[in-house]
Amino acid sequence: MKKFTAISLSFLLATTFAFAQVPTSGGPDTFGYTFKTSQDPTGPTYNWFDISQIGTLVSGLADDNFVGPFPISNFPFYSSTPQSLYIGSNGYLAFTPGNIASTAAQFPAIPNSGGSNNFIAAMLTDLNFAGPNNPANAYFYSAGDTVCITFEKVPFWTNNSLTYSGLNTFQVILNKADSSITVNYKLQSGLPDPTYVNNFVSMGIENSTGLDGLQFWRSNTFPPDTFSVKYYYPAITTPVTDLSLNWTSSENDGGKFLLVNQSFSPTLNILNVGNQDIKTNITVNYELRDAANFLINSGTGQIDSLLVGDDSTYTFASTPPITFPGRYRLKTFISAVSGDNIQLNDTSEALVKVLDSSKFPVILDYSDVATPSFGGVSWSGGNAGVGVYIEPPFYPARIVAANHYIANVGTTGFYSILYDDDARGGGPGTILDSMYFGPGQIASGQYLRDSLRNNIIINSGGVYLLWRMGSGTITLGTSFAQPVSNQTFEVIGGAWAPYRSREFQDFKMNIEVQPLSVALNELEQTSVELRIYPNPTNNFFDVEGFENIDQNTLQLFDLNGKEVNVKVIPYDNKMRVFKGNLDAGQYFIKIGQETKPVIFTD
C-alpha cells in the first residue's frame, strides 16, 4: 500500500520499457556473488518447482507486512549462515525481521545501508495479500538440500474498491548443495497502482549491513513469463571478521520511558555475522548523553569469544539516578576487534525519555511534543493506520487517556484503539478501549484527547495504541526528533508490521498514565497549600500547609501503590517525615485528598 506524506502526489501513468534491456549476467559484488539469467547461454534453465501440494501454506500475509520466522539450516548467505527466514508480502525474503515497503513511491536500490537489510528481493514491489476474495497464496517448503518459497497469484496493491489488481506467480529456491539462489518467474500480468512512476520494482540480494549487494534489476518493467535468474555463491570466499551491534535496550532498539531519579541497566546484544570465529575477549561500551550531547554516564564490559553465527547479550551495571527530564541518547558500541574493518554495524542507539513526575498523569510520548508537526502520515484509500508500543516506567499503572496530534483534518475521522500486548509474541491482542472521532470533533494542528471509558491497569508489559483513519483523508502528525523510538508500526488490512520509516520518524500520539496510589478524583483536587521541603532529600522532609495536622492522616506510597511505613514527628503545624531504611526513589505522600510526589536520594 502506498503511504502518503502531507505533500500531495500526482497520479501519473508509468512509462514502461522493454525488459529485454536487462543484463543476462552480472557481478561480482564485493563478497563475490554473481548472477546469470535464463537468457544467458550458460545460465539456468527455467524449471518450476510446484510445492502447492507438498509445502506449508503461509498464513498472516496482508499488505506491507512480513511473517516468520521459518526455520532453515546449512544455507550460507554472504558471510553468515542464518537459522531462519521471514517472508515479506512485497515479494522478498529476509534473514532478519524487517518490513520493506515503498518510500516516495519507489522501492530501494540494492545495496542500501538504510532501512532493512539482509534480504533476497525476488520481486520487490507493492503486492497485496489482503482484500475481498484475493487469490494470493504463499507456500514454504524445506526438505533435504532444498528450501523453496512460492508466491502464487499475488496481485498488486491498487487504489480501487478491491484494493488489488493483476497477478504475479514466482518463487525462490535456496540450494544448500551449491549455496545458490534461483528465482523463477512463472506468470506476471498488470502493473502497480498509477501512483508509482519510477523504480516500482527492485530485484537483487543484499547483505546484513547494506554495504554489499548485487542488483539484478530496478526499473518500471517486470520479468517475462517462464524466466529465471540465478545468484551464484563464490567458489572462494574471503575470510570476513565482522561483529555487529545487534540491538540496544531491546531487540528492536526500542525506546523506553523513565521518571526523574529512576535508574536503569543498559543492555546490548552483539552478533558474529562474519565467517571467522572471534577467539579473544570483546570490549563493549555504552554512553548516555542528553539532548545537548553532554555525557551523563558511561560504562565498559567484556564478552567472551564468539563463534560464527552466535550472539551474546551483556547487561551493564545500573546507571545513577537521572535527575533531569528530557530526551537522552543511549549509544552502545564495540571497541575495535582485530581484523574487523566493517565498522558501520559496530554501533547502535536507543531513546531514553525521562519524564517530570511532579504532577500526574505523565504523558508517554516518544515524539518531541513541544515541536509542531511538519508534515504527517496518511494512507491512500484510507482504512489503514499507524501504531506505537508503549511500556510505562512503573507498575501497576493506570491509563487515563490517549492523545493524537492531527496535522490536517481532511474529510474523515479516525479511530483511537488501545490493545493489550497479550497476543502471540507480545503483539497486539485484546482490545482494551476504542472510540471513533468524526471530522467535526477534530481540529487541525493540535492534540485530541481521548478520555478512556474503561479502567485500564497495566501490571506488566505494555500496550499498543492505534490511530486508524476512516475512508477519506486525514493526517496524523509526525516527529523527526532524534533518536527515535523504533516502537512504531503501520497497520494495513488489520496486519501490523514495523513502520517502514521507523529509523527516522515517530508519531505524535501518546497515552497518559498514573500510579494506582493517585485516585482519579484526586488529580483535580491536589492543592498548592501542601508544601514539602526539601524535595528531593536524602534524610527527611517537612510537610506544612494545613492547620491541625494529624500524623495519623499521613500516608506514603511507593510507585507500585503499596503503602510504606515511615517515622513521622509532628511539631508547630508541621510534620517531619524520615527516610529511615527506605530505598532511594520516588514516593507519594497523601494527606486527606492531597497527594504529591516526594523523592528520597541516597
Q: For the segment 500-525, what is each residue's pLDDT rounded down to a tens digit?
A: 888 889 999 999 999 886 543 443 34
Q: Residue 382 is inside which H or E element, if any? A: none
pLDDT in tens, 152-169: 999 999 888 888 999 999
Q: How confident is the model at residue 7 (pLDDT cuts 50, 70, 90)?
A: very low
Does position 577 have pLDDT exceeding 50, yes or no? yes
Does position 257 have pLDDT exceeding 60, yes or no? yes
* CATH of region 362-515: 2.60.120
Does position 526 have pLDDT exceeding 60, yes or no? no
pLDDT value of residue 148: 98
**Three-state secondary-structure class, residue 183:** strand
Residue 188: exposure state from Cβ atoms within 10 A (0-12, 13-18, ≥19)? buried
Q: Extract the C-alpha cell encoding 362.
A: 505523565
What integer is the mean pLDDT of 289-305?
A: 94
Does position 2 have pLDDT exceeding 70, yes or no? no
The region of weakest confidence among 64-73, 90-99, 587-596 is 587-596
pLDDT value of residue 33: 96
- The radius of gyration of the chain from alpha carbons, rounded to an integer in Å, stands at 28
Q: What is the mean pLDDT of the chain?
A: 87
Nearest to 362 by CA among 330, 403, 301, 323: 403
State the Cα–Cα distance between residues 568 and 554, nearest whole angstrom.
9
Domain with CATH 2.60.120 in the chain: 362-515
pLDDT value of residue 602: 79
State the Cα–Cα distance between residues 491 and 417, nearest whole angstrom.
12
pLDDT value of residue 527: 42
CATH topology of domain 523-600: Immunoglobulin-like (2.60.40)
Q: Residue 447 is inside which H or E element, if any? A: strand 446-458
pLDDT value of residue 520: 39
Percent of the chain past pLDDT 70, that is, above it, reads 91
pLDDT in tens, 484-499: 999 999 998 888 989 9
* Other residues' Cβ atoms within 10 Å of the Cβ of residue 203: 27
State the Cα–Cα distance between residues 451 and 430, nearest whole angstrom.
19
pLDDT value of residue 470: 84
pLDDT value of residue 546: 61
pLDDT value of residue 522: 43
State the Cα–Cα distance between residues 124 and 217, nearest whole angstrom.
10
Encoded amino acid at 570, one letter: P
The region of weakest confidence among 178-192, 364-378, 455-469 is 364-378
pLDDT value of residue 17: 39
Domain with CATH 2.60.40.10 in the chain: 243-355, 523-600
Q: Residue 223 is inside which H or E element, if any? A: none
Does position 12 have pLDDT exceeding 70, yes or no? no
pLDDT value of residue 380: 77
Q: Extract the C-alpha cell encoding 232.
A: 551464484
pLDDT value of residue 11: 29
pLDDT value of residue 325: 94
The neighbouring-strand residues paired with 286 are 299, 332
Residue with the bigger pLDDT between 462 and 504: it is 462
Q: How confident is the model at residue 370 (pLDDT cuts 50, 70, 90)?
A: low
Nearest to 266 by CA among 294, 295, 301: 301
Taking the model in full, what pTM does it have? 0.74
* CATH of region 243-355: 2.60.40.10
pLDDT value of residue 235: 87
